[in-house]
Chains A and B, each alone.
Chain A
């Protein structure tokens, strides 16, 4: 039986109180939203906050507002994102969130928690005894080191994925982040030191499995803003089981078409292939022309270098690389209006989503 370690529990009544509690905690405090990532991590001793700051009573984080743009509070549950008819216009967001975990989990899991989801690795997402048997690893180097800081500092331990490497290669596994980055979302971070600041969502992430966010430990993510800029968007997810699983690959795309199908704006993002979601700079290659078969093929070739999966998640690396080409082409074909039913089986499965009711 795995039980979470001991901690002090603080209930914040407002986002500002939560920020203050984080500041007071000096790096030993962590926010608890739905707890569907943090609680398992505490049971497995991957994360051991001394202070847990509950966001449950912070009503201001649970609001959705439409005002020429979409503003979603960080505390809105994934179930509510899926249910809200106003959010359906953001196709990629709906597709991504409806495929996160299970309906039971989505009833408690929040959008903010999903964006801040810990990175994943086969050598890390294991119970304490399993990890002790391999003498832990860099990201969670043993109980002494972990106990000192809620999230361990650099340094000790081996990386079992790349033993000669100085960094950790754990994989960004959030489904909503690639979708929201493609949609041009911005997030607000609140701290008691600096007040609120807003950054593009892609700037929230670092390509480093341990320090995977640029957000400081004393900052609360309060809000996500998505522009209404006329894009069409989608998200395709590769996972082991049809019912639920973390992404082994996620591809999000948002495209705005002008007259005669000429692309005016395009953002394509890869998830689950690096320690952060990758906004592909080659997206600009798509702009100024129609999404012809040639344009798509050129884009897929030009972006092949980004999909460099490591051997620390599910499926064979080489196979995942092939699938990423299929998906990159697939999302663009879907957005230009192809009938996804004519796609190869795998792509079809990724593109067709059962109608979620929760």
Chain B
């Protein structure tokens, strides 16, 4: 059994493929460590209580709510945030499709939608509208009315599929 000291926690956190030794207050959530200790503010801070999906990140490839995960729990796990989505200067097809389809208005919900949709397409490249709706049902958007978001995910899926079959 390993005990960490009361004041500071130290873990090795892998974010977007880069592993860092981090020292932080043990009561912090992954969201707080990403934004405050790593300066990765792409992941948004919304309700803090699991209700909005703005804070979604991928943990070992699965979308989770970073506001509900203690950073300490991520020791040795792979975290992927919106900052890791683009391939250097090349946007991810989902990012392009969101821009093309008007799937982002104020943009606050967008990083959460993008990483959640990425996990879906990684697993189901041909996801149906029903599967997209279900997968994104924990991400709230107050601006778009969702339709453009679903369309953007479909467009990205089509593009990614076309590229693969070439």
A interface, CB within 8 angstroms of B: 1-13, 17, 21, 32, 34-36, 39-40, 43-44, 52, 54, 56, 79, 101-105, 107-108, 243-244, 354-358
Contacts and interface: CB of A to CB of B under 8 A. Distances in A.
A357 B130 CA distance: 9
Given A9-B26, A17-B1, A354-B133, 17 more contacts: A3-B28, A3-B32, A6-B27, A11-B2, A32-B73, A35-B68, A39-B50, A40-B49, A79-B62, A103-B135, A104-B64, A104-B139, A107-B59, A357-B120, A357-B124, A357-B127, A358-B135
A244 B138 contact: yes
B28 A105 contact: no
Contacts of A40: 48-50, 68
A34 B135 CA distance: 19
B138 A36 contact: no
Nearest to A104: B138
Contacts of A4: 27, 29, 70
Contacts, number: 115
Given A9-B26, A104-B53, A354-B134, A21 B1 contact: yes
Contacts of A35: 68-70, 73
B63 interface: yes
Nearest to B123: A357
A34 B70 CA distance: 10
A244 B25 CA distance: 32
A4 B69 CA distance: 11
Chain B interface size, as a band, is 35 or more
A103 B134 contact: yes
B63 A9 contact: no
B113 to A, nearest CB: 11
B48 A43 contact: yes
B48 A12 contact: no
A179 B137 CA distance: 23
Contacts of B165: none
B72 interface: yes
B6 A101 contact: no
Contacts of B127: 357
Interface string B51-91: 00100100100111101111011000000000000000000
Contacts of A9: 3-4, 9, 26, 70, 72
B95 interface: no
A192 B70 CA distance: 27
5 contacts: A4-B27, A9-B3, A36-B68, A102-B53, A102-B138
Quick one: which of B32, B67, B130, B134 has the most chain A CB within 10 A? B134
B110 interface: no
B43 interface: no
A335 to B, nearest CB: 25
Interface string B24-54: 0111110010000000000001001110010
B3 A10 contact: yes
A167 to B, nearest CB: 27
A39 B72 contact: no
A358 B134 contact: yes
B116 A104 contact: yes
B96 interface: no
B34 to A, nearest CB: 14
A103 B72 contact: no
B1 A10 contact: yes
B136 to A, nearest CB: 8
B131 interface: yes
Contacts of B120: 357
Between A5, A36, A79, the greatest number of chain B beta carbons within 10 A of the residue's beta carbon is seen for A36
Contacts of B29: 4, 39
A104 B65 contact: yes
Contact of A39 (B1, B68, B134): B68
Contacts of A13: 1
Contact of A355 (B27, B48, B130): B130
A358 B131 CA distance: 9
B1 A104 contact: no
Given A3-B32, A10-B3, A103-B138, A108 B27 contact: no
A54 B25 CA distance: 17
A157 B9 CA distance: 36
A107 B62 contact: yes
A78 to B, nearest CB: 12
A247 B78 CA distance: 33
A199 B121 CA distance: 42
A4 B63 CA distance: 22
The 10 A-B pairs of least Cβ separation, nearest first, read A102-B138, A104-B138, A243-B137, A4-B27, A357-B131, A40-B49, A107-B62, A39-B68, A108-B64, A107-B64
